[in-house]
Chains A and B, each alone.
Chain A
Amino acid sequence: MAVMTYREALNEALREEMERDPDVFLMGEEVAEYDGAYKVSKGLLEEFGEQRIVDSPISELGFTGLGVGAAMAGLRPVIEFMTFNFAFLAIDQVINSAAKMYYMSEGQFPMPIVFRGPTGAALQLSAQHSQACETYYSHAPGCKVVTPGTPADAKGLLKAAIRDNDPVAFMEGESLYNFKGEVPDDDDFVIPLGVADLKHEGGDVSLITHGKMIHVALQAAQKLEKDGIHADVLDLRTIRPLDMDAILESVKKTNRAVYLEEGWPYAGTGAQIVSMIQEEAFDDLDAPIIRVTQADVPMPYAKNLEMLAKPSANHVIEAVNKVLYR
């Protein structure tokens, strides 16, 4: 196992997939000469040239649509959003073009394209730069959504996303790029989409989450351990496809669940999952499921208010206490 940052893991995945398939190219703002706004594409321009590592103008709608058209014609584009906050300008091309093309052409045009970049809040970037965007994409049939929380998951899932024949919104975390972790040394380390990962095992309560929130959940689980409460921390890793079997397995073991996500509550990922659990495992539940989310407000700038708005380990612990009736 090599220890590397999340950023380096993504970089390796890109490099390996570009070496493997000449149809893969990376396009986005500052990906080439600047080495990527978050340095994810560092060194790739030198290695693959400007034909395959392409600095775009600041035209999110335009270069996203360009990528979708290139995918229609047989290439496998990786489109980088500097952050998914800027991708609202481009969401027409993701939903109306990429996600629907295969269906409305009755299977004539597969859409092997990855839209990637950081989602969610970092630190004090305020309202327009701090939002978790995954549910906008997971809402639409035809679009897969992947949210890796560790370097190993980032590498293995990005490789799978690039090889997948459907559009994939691949959502990273700005505050994860420097996070270090072990990554298997395999020549070709691929994690299939749709497989959740039990990041921490316990039998008392299921903490189900995705993306960078796994770290908040793990922190909560560690604190709970000291209190004698053992939590499963289930990292979904991909929102669509969704590993419902793993969710049900954990919930049927613990009979109690908390869903933690970085985004807002209304029609959030947790809302979907809570609905499915009550439908499919009602008799296994000993308590209502509670969701922990960002406060239902735009993200404020002031440090203290931002801290209040973000879901924290303490919020998770409070929720766990509730579902355990403590």
Chain B
Amino acid sequence: MPETKTKAKKSSRKKSDALAEHGISDELALELMRDMLLYRRFEEKAEEGYAIGKIGGFCHLHIGQEAGAAGSIKPLRDDDYVMSAYREHTQALAKGVHPNAVMAELYGRKDGSSGGKGGSMHIFDADCRFMGGHGIVGGQVPLATGIAWKIKYRGEETVSLVFMGDAAVNQGGFHEALNMAAVWNLPAIYVVENNEYGMGTAFSRVSRTDMSTKAVPYGIPSHTVDGQDVLACYAFFRDLADKVRHGAGPQFVDLQTYRFRGHSMSDPVSGTYRSVEEVLQAKEERDPIALLRDTLMEAGVLDQETLEEMDAEARQVSLDAADFAEASPPPGPEALYANVWAEINPNGRLFFDRRPESEEAS
């Protein structure tokens, strides 16, 4: 359950119509609730882990943005590709990466999704087709375009969906990638998780044009979606992915959302760049979990008892993940030099510090 019990703003439409309108079954709606509760509790557990020094480095939480992960990834097929930037823990969970593997990665442990070598910003799972976890703003956009290239090259019917923050649209690689995707009609879905701030810089301070215009010069259809409404997101991405896998070409989505925590763990919740009131108001009015709760309760699909059961389960899974991470050993020293190279050529030296050599000798 979100911290606030305040009801979301009343919509003029009857909420019980929302499920039918989006073609979402009661079961699916409850599953989305369960997923978002897990993402929230998981991130809170990560926050706690960071506070007590179990997690180091940079750690960017997704709290407040859960509907974007569930609503865009859950409608995809298992063989669709998802790539993201560095605020990606919950997106990895949504694509099927096990919470234990994600938490163990945050802890820097052997059983982490990258064996403890990637950390919070580099969650990968080839089997789930979760393609990372990339730390350079916008750097993943050309990469995901290359995945879309491969899909078209091989004539497959999958899609490549990539997340980026709003700041990424000011990077050159974003524009180069979108241009190529349009020219070659690639099955790529570019999703801007527009939480209004690139770190501490409001988007309006670094762009004279609106987000919805950014893909227009390339002839790419642009869509604006309420990223706090998981039902609307789900329905939108279900239909969009279907079109893209059947040749509609690249798409651009302005997924409007809001971050309830600081940019990273070193940034206070509101920081110097936004007011406490602004954050509180967003939490009251735009909490995706509270919004879905109200919709489902009003529709009679969810009652308080079930919600509490679901929440207890989410807390348990997160706790189990933390316990799993804690129990997992750190990577052994032999991991330091492992997987630098996919192919150790039989001739010549690849390492220049001579340490692997001396270790072999010892």
Enumerate chain A interface residues (CB-CB to B < 8 A): 25, 51, 56-57, 59, 61-75, 77, 92-93, 96-97, 101-112, 141-142, 144, 164-166, 192-195, 238, 240-244, 272, 276
Q: Select one of A64, A97, A103, A192 contacting B346, CB under 8 A.
A: A192
A71 CA to B177 CA in the complex, in Å? 16
Highest count of chain B CB atoms <10 Å: which of A25, A64, A106, A244? A106
Contact in complex: B149, A164 (CB < 8 Å):
no
A52 to chain B, nearest CB (A): 8
Contact in complex: B349, A242 (CB < 8 Å):
yes
A241 CA to B340 CA in the complex, in Å? 13
A-facing residues in B124-145 (Cβ within 8 Å) = 124-126, 131-136, 139, 141-145
Contact in complex: A70, B153 (CB < 8 Å):
yes
- With A61-B176, A65-B142, A73-B146: A105-B338 Cβ-Cβ less than 8 Å: no
- With A69-B149, A72-B143, A73-B150: A106-B348 Cβ-Cβ less than 8 Å: no
- The interface residues of chain B lying within 8 Å CB-to-CB of A97 are 134, 136, 139, 143
Contact in complex: A192, B345 (CB < 8 Å):
yes
Contact in complex: A96, B139 (CB < 8 Å):
yes
Highest count of chain B CB atoms <10 Å: which of A74, A96, A97? A97
Q: Given A62-B176, A72-B147, A164-B345, 12 more contacts at CB 8 Å? A: A57-B183, A59-B176, A59-B179, A63-B176, A66-B149, A67-B146, A68-B142, A71-B146, A106-B118, A108-B124, A110-B342, A240-B348
- The interface residues of chain A lying within 8 Å CB-to-CB of B183 are 57
A276 to chain B, nearest CB (A): 8
A141 CA to B337 CA in the complex, in Å? 10
- Is B114 part of the binding interface, using a Cβ–Cβ cutoff of 8 Å? yes
Q: Mark B144-159, 1 if CB is under 8 A from A, else 0.
A: 1111111101000000
- Taking CB as reference atom, which chain A residue is nearest B116? A106
Contact in complex: A96, B147 (CB < 8 Å):
no
Q: Select one of A62, A92, A93, A241 contacting B345, CB under 8 A.
A: A241
A92 CA to B136 CA in the complex, in Å? 9
A67 CA to B142 CA in the complex, in Å? 8
Contact in complex: A104, B343 (CB < 8 Å):
no
Contact in complex: B124, A103 (CB < 8 Å):
no
Q: Select one of B118, B346, B351 contacting A105, CB under 8 A.
A: B118
A63 CA to B117 CA in the complex, in Å? 27
- With A102-B341, A105-B126, A110-B342: A65-B143 Cβ-Cβ less than 8 Å: yes
- Taking CB as reference atom, which chain A residue is nearest B125? A108
Can you list 15 pairs linking A and B with CB atoms under 8 Å apart? Answer: A68-B146, A73-B131, A75-B153, A102-B341, A103-B340, A104-B117, A106-B118, A107-B339, A142-B340, A194-B350, A238-B348, A241-B350, A242-B348, A243-B347, A272-B352
- The interface residues of chain A lying within 8 Å CB-to-CB of B150 are 69-70, 73-75
- The interface residues of chain A lying within 8 Å CB-to-CB of B122 are 104-105
- Taking CB as reference atom, which chain B residue is nearest A25? B153
Q: Mark B90-131, 1 if CB is under 8 A from A, else 0.
A: 000000000000000000000001111110001011100001
Number of A-B contacts (CB under 8 A): 187
- Is B172 part of the binding interface, using a Cβ–Cβ cutoff of 8 Å? yes
Contact in complex: B341, A69 (CB < 8 Å):
no
A243 CA to B132 CA in the complex, in Å? 35
Contact in complex: B346, A194 (CB < 8 Å):
yes
- Is B81 part of the binding interface, using a Cβ–Cβ cutoff of 8 Å? yes
Q: Select one of A75, A109, A144, A193 contacting B126, CB under 8 A.
A: A109
A294 CA to B210 CA in the complex, in Å? 49
Q: Select one of B126, B139, B350 contacting A65, CB under 8 A.
A: B139
**Which 7 A/B pairs are nearest by Cβ-Cβ distance?**
A69-B146, A194-B348, A65-B142, A62-B176, A241-B348, A194-B347, A106-B115
Q: Select one of A57, A106, A108 contacting B176, CB under 8 A.
A: A57
- Taking CB as reference atom, which chain B residue is nearest A50? B184
B60 to chain A, nearest CB (A): 16
- Taking CB as reference atom, which chain B residue is nearest A99? B340
Contact in complex: A66, B347 (CB < 8 Å):
no
A51 CA to B349 CA in the complex, in Å? 37
A70 CA to B125 CA in the complex, in Å? 16
- Is B180 part of the binding interface, using a Cβ–Cβ cutoff of 8 Å? yes
- Is B173 part of the binding interface, using a Cβ–Cβ cutoff of 8 Å? yes
Contact in complex: A193, B352 (CB < 8 Å):
no
Highest count of chain B CB atoms <10 Å: which of A57, A192, A241? A241
B284 to chain A, nearest CB (A): 39
Contact in complex: A244, B349 (CB < 8 Å):
yes
A13 to chain B, nearest CB (A): 18
Contact in complex: B343, A164 (CB < 8 Å):
yes
Q: Select one of A66, A109, A244, A276 contacting B180, CB under 8 A.
A: A66
Contact in complex: A193, B176 (CB < 8 Å):
no
A153 to chain B, nearest CB (A): 14
Contact in complex: B173, A65 (CB < 8 Å):
yes
